[in-house]
Chains A and B, each alone.
Chain A
Amino acid sequence: MKFAIQINEGPYQHQAVDSAYQFAKAALDKGHEIFRVFFYHDGVNTATRLAVPPQDDRNLTKLWAELAEQHNLDMVVCVAAAQRRGMADEDEMKRNGKDANNIHPAFRISGLGQLIEAGIAADRLMVFGD
């Protein structure tokens, strides 16, 4: 079965990013497909490559990036939500005349249409949030 996953909350602040990760991992282990993971609202903060969580804590950006690499996951960060929250890749940095970017290469920035498209393409949309 084909799943789409939407994450509405920021990492560490809320369990949503963790729950979505555990769900995705379990789904992939069972041989299901994840069509897309869409990060929305504060969920976009998961994509920062600058986070340095304490050594004894999980690193959610890294966990997602590793899972994405193993399973070739499409991880999309909503551009509108990202702009509001100061999340930018290199293109966005240049486009908005900013002096830095912070998106981990495992993630890509794109529009909300990607969420709707995922809802259309997937058999189930799973929403994790607050």
Chain B
Amino acid sequence: MATLHTVNKSPFEKNSLASCLSHLQSGYAVLLFEDGVYGALRGTTIATRVEDAVKSGRVYVLGEDFKARGLDEGKMIEGINVVDYAGFVDLATECDRVQSWL
């Protein structure tokens, strides 16, 4: 019954990540990609909420997008998993549906 939620917006520009995090149901997976990867950084205004999501479910970041933006994995919230596009495909396959928080 799990849903893969994808977020492609910077949490500092749009409320997509905040809204996504408010609609999670058990078994969820959240994938941050495109500008959504900024939501994976430690010490930001939304980090506490992302950390909570890491504790009660699975949160992923698309490594290619993270790297493209010059971000350092050392600054990523602990417990977030890095996947590549193949991993993105696997997540979509494993979950029952995909919700894009555009």
A contacts B: CB pair < 8 Å: yes
Whether A26 touches B85, Cβ cut-off 8 Å, given contacts A19-B8, A125-B98, A127-B102, is: yes
A-B contact count (CB 8 A): 46
**A interface: dominant SS:** mixed
Interface residues on A, range: 20 to 34
Is A38 in contact with chain B by the CB < 8 A criterion?
no
The answer, among B33, B35, B86, for a CB contact under 8 Å with A26, is: B86
Closest to A30 in B: B89
User: A19, A25, A29 — which one has the most chain B CB atoms within 10 A of its CB?
Assistant: A19
Contact with B85, one of A1, A3, A25 (Cβ below 8 angstroms): A25
Interface size on B, as a range, is 10 to 19
Q: Which residues of B contact A25 (CB under 8 A)?
A: 85
Among B35, B89, B97, B100, the residue within 8 A (CB) of A27 is B89
A sample of 19 inter-chain contacts (CB < 8 A) reads: A8-B102, A15-B34, A16-B34, A19-B34, A22-B85, A25-B85, A26-B84, A26-B86, A27-B89, A29-B86, A30-B86, A30-B90, A124-B92, A124-B93, A126-B100, A127-B100, A127-B102, A128-B8, A130-B8
